[in-house]
Structure 1
Amino acid sequence: MVTPKVSNRAAQEPTLVQPNVENHYDVTPADLPLSCPMPGMHLWNSHPKVYLAVEEEGRVKCPYCGATYALTDAR
């Protein structure tokens, strides 16, 4: 019986979040500038990256996927 090997590279890579799974995200000033999909999300099966101006009203909706983002005070 052959046991498959797991490369060290695969074990060290961060786990990416599936984009557009949730429809609401709370973001902090550390997340700015805000883009959808956000860093850390798989990009290959999502829409083109778009930057969103959440600073003006504290909330914004992505025109592609409809995800909403709310700016919180947490730092």
Structure 2
Amino acid sequence: MLARETHVELALVERGISVRARPGFDAWIAPMAKANTERFSLAERPRIVPPSGWMIFFEDPTKPQRVALLGRST
């Protein structure tokens, strides 16, 4: 079942949280305040984000879905 498979890996790093898509998956991240206009694919490369105020999308961000939140919006 794809919905139960691990799509991303999170790791604490000195500058924040490293967010990486697992092989064979794509995911997107976006700052909560700009989620409609500013999204970044994790298939291209992992990203390091601050520990709060970010969303993780496990499917195309234009589709309705559940998302993960990192901390709370600032």
- Mark yes or no: TM-score above 0.5: no
The higher radius of gyration belongs to: 1
TM-score (norm 1): 0.28
- In terms of fraction of residues, the more strand-rich structure is 2
